[in-house]
Amino acid sequence: MQGLILQLTRAGFLLLLWLFIWAILRTLRSDIYAGAARPVPRYSPRNQSVLPSLGRGKSAKFLVVTQGALAGTRITLGTQPVLIGRADDSTLVLTDDYASTRHARLSPRGSDWYVEDLGSTNGTYLDRAKVTTAVRVPLGTPVRVGKTVIELRP
């Protein structure tokens, strides 16, 4: 009888071990392919806000890292979106353990910049508010990606 209990205990432990390994592989797979299957949203004039933008006279020219391992880093903004994450092909490559491979994207729409979360694990925050859709980023407003904080500057 004790031999049967020992065998059942071994089989249960082996099953738990395989479930743990499966969960790790599933998490890694979702982190690696987080942004690959998502279509890139395109800008259309009908998505443009009817309300005037505050501070319309100044437009963002730089992306500045204010907190985190890359504090002081400055990226000149152009017309291309800025991809933020741990992936090597990101515009701003983070070494932050709390950032996903493809964490967030800053996209220009006219003279404004919009931030959108790309399905990250820990989320993207615009001045303490969690980003769930594309949100306009005012100049000087902190955007938190993991432990890294960035701002748009004129």
pTM of the model as a whole: 0.62
Per-residue pLDDT reduced to its tens digit, 82-98: 999 999 889 999 988 88
Secondary structure (DSSP) of the chain: -HHHHHHHHHHHHHHHHHHHHHHHHHHHHHHHTTTTSSPPPPP-GGGS-SSPPTTTT----EEEEEESTTTT-EEE--SS-EEEESSTTSSEE---TTS-TT-EEEEEETTEEEEEE-S-SS-EEETTEE--S-EE--TT--EEETTEEEEEE-
Per-residue pLDDT reduced to its tens digit, 33-76: 665 545 545 444 444 444 444 445 578 899 999 998 898 999 99
